[in-house]
Structure 1
Amino acid sequence: MRSRLIERLVAGVVLGALLFTAPEAAAQSTPKRSLLIISKTSHTLAIVDPASLKVLARVPVGEDPHEVIASSDGRTAYVSNTGFGRFHELNVIDLVAQKALPSIDTAPLIGPHGLAFVGGKVWFTAQGAKAVARYDPTTARVDWSMGTGQNRTHMLHVTADEKKIYTTNVDSGTVSILENVLLQPTLPPTGVLPPGAQPQMDWIQTLIPVAQSSEGFDVSPDGQELWTASPGGALSIINLAAKKVTATVAAKLPGAHRLMFTPDGKRVLIVSVRTGELVIYDARARKEIKRLNIGHGGAMLMDAEGARAFVSCPPDNDVAVIDLKTLEVTGRLDVGGRPDGLAWAVRQ
């Protein structure tokens, strides 16, 4: 009887130990380099291992997530909640602990959408406010904003030196170039400058008309050109030094939605959310190389290390993986319904 009691006690201790350690054993830590993908219907941010393409964790985000970006140290992610230009929330995710942190209220800058993380700060477009703004995580406040005066200021690119910002203004059919430049003091009506007047840095905007409803865009790796796609299938190519459209290409791709340069700058990939096609262009010759069906493309992300491209296909509920060498689909990812924005997080 005593030996049987001891056996039961030992079994109970072992079982308890297993139950206690099971959650820890099942947990999968975020790798140093991780792929971040939003699911609109699941309202989650998926953290994916780019080597195995396995979803390691899903973290809750807001009601209408669109884009995602990671901090330079790879420890924090930011997700924009747009709400057709009505919401005013950036979700914050601790990528190491894999948990949501308190969100950022961007009001009155409503409708945050496009995101960039440059100079230790979060830059974002505010569609409902027709503006671009910047949030400082250190001071926990929006420390700069500028209106574009354009309708549906949407996608965003900020140069590494923080001197130039590019945006598409979808409903106005324009691209904004915002430049931080040194301006000389303006003479008052008296013709005499007040004492102590000095040149100062200020932002100026140049508006460039492009094909109507142009939305997705990318800047070439050498910083010389900006390509943007319109749902009518036209590609507008802007010479950034001249600040003007130098070519318009008829891509014959109805519903063209997003485009992106390959890391070497030699090719441009364009996806259609209407036809489900991916079109590959030679960037120098501006000629189509290949066209293939991948699914109704929403957002896109390049993988320089793996020579791959990831294309989220919201209506198809998956993410297509494209081999940049063979230009073929090599896999699919399931991160939840209606996947959208993608980003890399590289922990320092």
Structure 2
Amino acid sequence: MNKMPSPAWIAFTLLLATALLVVAGLAEGAQGVAVRAATHQVFVSSEKDDSLAVFDARTRQQVAAWGQCRRPRHLQLSPDRARLYVACSDDHRVDVVDVASRKTLASLQVGDDPELFDLSQDGRTLYVSNEEDGLLSAYDTASGKRVFAVRVGDEPEGVRVSADGRQVYVTSEVANLVHVIDVASRKVVRNIQVGNRPRRLLLVRDGKELWVSNELSASVSVIRTDTLEVAQTIVFAPRGLRAEDVTPVGMAASSDGTRAYIGLGRANHVAVVEVASRRVQDYVLVGRRAWGLALSRDNARLYVANGLSDDVSVVDTASGKAVATLKAGRVPHSVAIDD
């Protein structure tokens, strides 16, 4: 009769198998999405150079740059971090780039002038704002086919999928609205009035709050996602700057949910906000026209794309100071970090 393996041997075998998966970069994340080993690449899009640049997060040295498409703007990693999605505004498409090889795998035709987008939690659906057409369009990432489109206000920009995936939020710059779209019915179910020229969206407090940057109101509107009403407006007033020069756009939140960072555009600063109290804790000096923001996964470094100084500021979040500047082509727009 064959002897049964001991419990200790079974435990050792399972532990070894898990370790091998991790080494291979195939261990699954919290939501069941396979996550690769990090490449430590920092991707930056350059609107005027029609290119992407890559920096090593550890050395802060540029390691690659190439022409990608006409006017690349928003960048976002897939949930498994294996692919980089690139909004190619003047080519009316979103390119899919392999993170490891930096080769373009596919180009999704997504309608006129895509600027911003968001991916569903499983990475199967791409939600794109079509600025010229006034649409929010949904595309299947595998086939590239459009699933549906919903008409929204003029010049839609910011796009964010709700924490449960049932709704999509879209800003309209001209109408000063955030549109709430029900994915199941494919209809706008709520229009929320916010400040002047709403641009970007950020979910905090485990999706219980939606923050909206209002470029021409020097503020962020805080929307409760259960009531879909504005609960508070956070106003930014860095010392010595005129209100019209404070133009918030890009936002990022720490992984522990305690802090939010807001790029203040022509004010050349980033505001640091305590999420719980919604109070501004600090203003950090960076480059000219601070818009696109991205945080490292350990929350230690904030990367800020400065569109008018043609560089990216690297901010040490512990000290609240910029510690490095990366030259990143003409008019850098967005940053994505595979760390």
TM range, normalised to the smaller chain? Answer: 0.7 to 0.9
One-letter code of the match for 1:316? S
- Larger mean Cα displacement after TM superposition, 236-245 or 202-211: 202-211
- 1:47 and 2:54 aligned: yes
Contact 1:272 1:298 in 2 (8 A): yes
Deviation at 1:160, TM superposition (A): 5.2
CA distance in structure 2 between the partners assigned to 1:72 and 1:168 by the alignment? 23
- 1:117 and 2:119 aligned: yes
Matches of residues 267-282 of structure 1 in structure 2 within 5 Å?
267-282=259-274
The 3 A distance-change label for structure 1 pair 102 and 226 is: closer
Q: Deviations over 1:242-296 (max 9, x none)?
A: 1011112322252222222222222222222212122222222222211232122
The 3 A distance-change label for structure 1 pair 210 and 263 is: same
- 1:171 and 2:178 aligned: no
The 3 A distance-change label for structure 1 pair 36 and 270 is: same
- Of 72, 77, 82, the residue aligned with 2:79 is 72
- 1:235 and 2:235 aligned: no
CA distance in structure 2 between the partners assigned to 1:279 and 1:79 by the alignment? 26
Matches of residues 105-144 of structure 1 in structure 2 within 5 Å?
105-106=109-110, 109-118=111-120, 119-121=122-124, 122-144=126-148
CA distance in structure 2 between the partners assigned to 1:306 and 1:255 by the alignment? 24
One-letter code of the match for 1:339? P
CA distance in structure 2 between the partners assigned to 1:50 and 1:37 by the alignment? 12
Contact 2:300 2:317 in 1 (8 A): yes
Alignment partner, residue 207 of structure 2: 223
Taking only aligned residues, the RMSD between alpha carbons, in angstroms, comes to 2.2
One-letter code of the match for 2:89? T
Larger radius of gyration: 1
CA distance in structure 2 between the partners assigned to 1:256 and 1:341 by the alignment? 15
Contact 1:59 1:99 in 2 (8 A): no
Which structure has more RCO (C-alpha within 8 Å, separation ≥ 6)? 1
Structure 1 portions without partners, runs of 5+: 1-29, 182-200
Percent identity of equivalent pairs: 19
Deviation at 1:101, TM superposition (A): 4.4
Deviation at 1:204, TM superposition (A): 4.1
Matches of residues 169-248 of structure 1 in structure 2 within 5 Å?
169-181=172-184, 202-230=186-214, 231-248=216-233
Contact 1:60 1:100 in 2 (8 A): no
Alignment partner, residue 300 of structure 2: 307
One-letter code of the match for 1:268? A
Structure 2 portions without partners, runs of 5+: 1-36, 238-242
Deviation at 1:203, TM superposition (A): 4.0
Q: TM-score, normalised by structure 2?
A: 0.79
3-state secondary structure, aligned to 1:246: strand
